[in-house]
């Protein structure tokens, strides 16, 4: 099962829609990716760093955008990185 399929319920429909648009537009650049983590740059109004870390059966995520940093809510940049990672088999 893909990472996006496992996490889809954690993201709102609007965030997924906007993140998928970023993915289609090629705004995601995966800098490092493995089974244990992902670091990507997502180009929106600015370039935001996105990190996903899988350790001890737990997924931790972080994005440098104001939406995530101010509220802790999952953002379109995270979703775009997840969808892109799935496409690349990461």
Give the position of tokens 């996903």: 52
**φ/ψ (deg, to 5) at 45:** -65, -25
Is there a contact between 50 and 41 (Cβ–Cβ < 8 Å)? yes
- Rounded Cα distance, 39 and 33, in Å: 6
State how far Cα 65 lies from the chain centre.
12
- Rounded Cα distance, 12 and 9, in Å: 7
Residues 8-30 pLDDT 10s: 999 999 999 999 999 999 999 99
Residues 38-75 pLDDT 10s: 999 999 999 999 999 988 889 999 999 999 999 999 99
Q: How confident is the model at residue 34 (pLDDT cuts 50, 70, 90)?
A: confident
């Amino acid at each position: 099962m893909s990472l996006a399929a496992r996490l889809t319920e954690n993201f709102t429909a609007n965030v997924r829609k906007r993140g998928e648009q970023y993915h289609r537009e090629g705004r995601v650049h995966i800098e490092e990716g493995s089974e244990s983590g992902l670091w990507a740059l997502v180009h929106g109004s600015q370039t935001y760093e996105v990190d996903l870390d899988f350790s001890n059966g737990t997924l931790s995520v972080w994005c440098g955008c104001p939406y995530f940093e101010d509220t802790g809510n999952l953002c379109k940049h995270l979703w775009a990185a997840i969808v892109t990672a799935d496409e690349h088999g990461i």
